[in-house]
Structure 1
Amino acid sequence: MLEPTQYLTPAQIVAELDKYIIGQHDAKRNVAIALRNRWRRMHAAPDMQKEIVPNNILMIGATGVGKTEIARRLASIADAPFTKVEASKFTEVGYVGRDVESMVRDLVEQSVNMVKMRKKEEVKAQAVQVVEDIILDALIPPVSTAGSKPVADYSLDDNRIPDSDQELNERTREKFRLKIRSGELDDRKIDIKVQQTGSPGVGVMGPGIDEASMMNIQEMLNGLMPKKTKKRKVTIAEARKILLEEEAVKLIDMDEVKEEAIQKAENAGVIFIDEIDKVASSSNKAGGPDVSREGVQRDLLPIVEGSTVSTKYGVINTDHILFIAAGAFHVAKPSDLIPELQGRFPIRVELSSLTKEDFYRILKFPKNALTKQYEALLSAEDVELTFDDEALEKLAEIAFEVNNEVENIGARRLHTVVSRLLNDILFDVPDKIGANAHIQITKELVEERLSPMVKNRDLSQYIL
């Protein structure tokens, strides 16, 4: 079954996306429907579930208008494994780029990590108890039943005299257990045994070997080699972090994790293929780079259509993975893609260019707005940063103007403009601008620092 977060209705999904992304309502509606359809498929009649295929989406729009952010936030809302690839990575000279199946293997890896993290949280309480015992053993080793003298602290605040060394040891351990839990001993150093991470690389002589086979060989050799441990002297606080990770991994069933991760990737996975226009043939030449581009499309086709891919965690079927492709399509057109690939992306969404008003709203309203990010950065230095509304309007106007005159890179231009505005302030904190200071960004300050650069076209090309 899908996760509870995927029970959101299309309207609720759009409302969640609105918290982070300004505008692009059509694109949000379409991805919201695609996400809800996954829940609908999983609750359809069993004999129809395999027949219902996802409506893959092709997003068309200039750089910086929100294509990647929409796909990434969608996966986050759905708590779904998500991977982003650039189609141009598969078009190196002579077509020696990454194997197209690697995008599916990356998705499975992401899915395994997500499931493993959730499983670790489930066993965390149990792991904490085990780690506590390990740390306690390092501080106060338990005595044997033979009655040997314990290594313990005898100055106990207890009126009753212990019956045996073992009882004395147990009482001492309980006192130290309370101190460990309270953090009183966090700075004390102890010796612990930890597993050595990493294994030597494996080289294979002879003909080339594909990526999946290489991973399987590496995994097999890792399983055959004995696990090595080494002793480290660390503080109890550090030991708790190191050991908690190790013990949590021991408590989870990796076979169960792999099985659940494969199922999650197959039914909820999202693969975002960016720059797909770069592999579209813009002419009908008989040779040259267009041949390589068409080759990439034909290699992508079976993955998007639905096929089985071998990964180190098992075989995954791509029939129900949601593929979202995106491209600017300035030179090539969607119709320049091979017909079979076009047919696998039936939903077409054109994202509109951002206006000056959009820039203003991007700076002011999203939960992760750039202005809020800088306010959070300076708050770490106990410096309060605020922006006047008129200052935000001027920043939006400058970013829009530079995009029109130099090159349109969408909302990414705001990063350049705001960074240029605040550079001196960021440098002067905390040396010249101390704690508890309040910095107000006004329209006049924005004009003073940025307007000369905008007016100087040659300068703006290099700086803004």
Structure 2
Amino acid sequence: MFRLVSYPTRRVAYGSHANFLRKGLLLGHSFSTDQASTAEDLTDSDPKAAASSKAPVRSKDTALKPNEVVRELDRHIVGQNEAKKAVAIALRNRWRRRKLPEHHRKEITPRNVLMIGPTGCGKTEIARRMANLDDSPFLKVEATKFTEVGYHGRDVDSIIRDLMDISFQLTKKIHMERVRSVAIERTESKILDILAGPSTPAVVTEDEDDDGESASESKNVKSLQDIKSNTRAKFSGLFKSGLLDDQEIVVEVPAEYLDKSGNNPGQVFAMGNLDSSNVSPNMTSAVMNLFSGKGGKENKKRKKMKISDAKVLLEEIETDILLENVDLKAEALQRAEESGIVFLDEIDKICSAKDAYRSGADASAEGVQRDLLPLVEGTVINTKYGNVKTDYILFIGSGAFHQCKPADMLPELQGRLPIRVELSALTEENLYQILTEPEANLVVQQKQLVGTEGVELVVEEDALREIARVAALLNKTVENIGARRLHTVMERIMEEISYDCAEMEEGSQVKVPKEMVEERLKDFIKNPDLSRYIL
């Protein structure tokens, strides 16, 4: 077992390490000649990568063009071109605004969007795919999860706090990618210091009165340096090849890195259901120091672990060290204010028809609309990262509006969602396209699941057409739930196949013809009352 004296590495006296090598112990590890030659080959063929804090990352001054956004959405979503265009233009306008001079930038506010369409037509899917298209903080929330101030539940201000959390994590991730190569290099150096000793030898002081003895000592030191250099190179090759991953070492690191999965002093704010969203990170750090038992001094712990686990832990520590001088909070705050996007789903559920009877729940829902007004118009929200201005955050609302109309929303809120896009209901042809065109369509998913059993699934063209026809028919006769109907229809067809495929021989092929689809679904098509039980 390898042992580390301390982290940061405590320099072992060169003489004692030299004696350790002379005894042939080589830190308790031995490897064959073949492994040694492999290590040397790896060392020669894999030169140390140039570590630079200026490693290329995605620039915030670049953005997808509207047609590129639509093209990306087309890979996963069928139809709804108007909604895709509106979203693409909104994203591009964020980039255009950032390119303007400061005095013009202040005058341009986002054009918030309201998407209107029946359930299952792609509103939520557009939002989900949007989150992967841009390095902007993106938050999707359900409007029904919030209550008016004074009622039990979350208030709408927590939307901005959640957005800031996402912005901070996104900013940290971008910087971590930038310094990752440096952190990996430092981690490797630390572990090699444990395995082969420090790379920097101790300084030898020459005695001017005894030149012969000092020359002899210098020669011995040079010889030991060569031994250490060769040993370190071999260990480096073994380390990079993964042959040492199961070896154990002892590391000594700050206690908070080992306590993350245990009792975290910062969790004191969670006691008694206290809201920690406004607790400053500095205050949390102070409490952690208070609980450390050393009056705020750095508390270290020793931990024996495999090298594979040590690589992950030490890389995290080195990354944090490299980011110490980066003001992540300020950058995350600016990113949220200038590029933040909030998607308010099910916004129709917090409004009711003007002539409808209003219960207590409806009154609270209308209060949520009133609370949303300043948020969408522009206000300042206090968070643990600082005060966040919402003036330039883009809000996208979406709802089916079955029981009410957009005109039933508060007039002030309607005015703050000026761009309206109507999504059309899905036709039989649209349902067929959903089954065949997206990259991860339902048929592909089922083939992959069955394929894990070594069975090939073949769904015939006529069967796909029949599935789309039945789904469209049930949407018309029972309840229109859009593309979600395909999930239930497909699962009913695949039920027996999924049950039996584990017993089939590997390499078997299962075909799904039109007749099988008709047989599995005939009872529900003929009996309208029974079909109501199908979601």
Q: Is the 8 A contact 2:280 2:385 kept in 1?
A: no
Residue pair 1:90, 1:96 contacting (<8 A) in 2 also: no
1:202 maps to a residue whose letter is V
Aligned to 1:21: 77
Report the counterpart of residue 122 of structure 2 in structure 1: 66
What is the match of residue 455 of structure 1?
Answer: 526
1:397 aligns with 2:469: yes
Q: 2:148–2:367: 8 Å Cα contact kept in structure 1? A: no
- Distance in 1 separating the partners of 2:525 and 2:303: 57
Would you say 1:135 and 2:198 are equivalent positions?
Answer: no
Match of 2:287 among 221, 237, 257: 221
The structure 2 residue matched to 1:110, chosen from 161, 166, 177, is 166
Q: Between the two proteins, what is the percent identity of the paired residues? A: 47
Residues 387 and 441 in structure 1, CA contact (< 8 A), matched pair in contact too:
yes
Which residue is equivalent to 1:265?
336
Match of 2:87 among 22, 31, 51: 31
Please, which of 434, 441, 444 is the counterpart of residue 512 of structure 2? 441
Unaligned runs of 5+ residues in structure 1 are 148-159
Q: Which whole-Å CA distance do the structure 1 matches of 2:62 and 2:519 have between them?
A: 47
Give the corresponding residue for 1:43: 99
Q: How many residues are aligned here?
A: 449
C-alpha deviation, 1:332, in angstroms: 1.9
For normalisation by structure 2, the TM-score amounts to: 0.76
Residue 60 of structure 2 corresponds to which residue in structure 1? 3
Mean Cα deviation higher: 238-247 or 411-420: 238-247
- Aligned-pair CA distance for 1:230: 4.4
2:235 to 171, 176, 193: 176
Residue of 305, 309, 334 corresponding to 1:234: 305
Correspondences of 1:259-408 after superposition (within 5 Å)? 259-283=330-354, 288-408=360-480
**Hey, what's the Cα distance between the residues in 2 that align with 1:359 and 1:28?**
18
Distance (whole Å) between structure 2 residues aligned to residue 145 and residue 171 of structure 1: 18
**Judging changes above 3 Å, is the alpha-carbon distance between structure 1 residues 205 and 450 closer, same or farther for their aligned structure 2 residues?**
closer
User: How far, CA to CA, are the matches of 1:93 and 1:449 in structure 2?
Assistant: 51
Offset of 1:187 from its aligned partner? 2.5
Code of the residue aligned with 2:522 in structure 1: it is S
**Structure 1 residue 434 displacement after superposition:** 4.2
Deviation of 1:397 (Å):
1.5
Amino acid at match of 1:183: G
Contact 1:94-1:292 within 8 A present in 2 as well:
no
Distance 1:104 1:422, change over 3 A: same
Change (3 A) 1:2 1:245: closer
Aligned-partner residue type, residue 213 of structure 1:
N
Q: CA deviation at 1:176?
A: 0.8
Counterpart contact for 1:81–1:110, Cα < 8 Å: yes
Structure 2: how far apart are the matches of 1:372 and 1:253? 46
CA-atom RMSD in angstroms: 3.1
**1:84 to 2:156 alignment:** no
Residue pair 1:112, 1:261 contacting (<8 A) in 2 also: yes
Q: Per-residue deviation at 1:213?
A: 3.1
How far 1:254 sits from its partner (Å)? 6.8
Q: 1:450 to 1:252 in 2, by over 3 A?
A: farther
Work out whether residues 147 and 367 of structure 2, in 8 Å CA contact, stay in contact via their aligned partners in 1.
no
With 54-63 and 308-317 compared, the bigger mean Cα shift is at 308-317
One-letter code aligned to 2:142:
E
Matching residue of 1:197 = 260
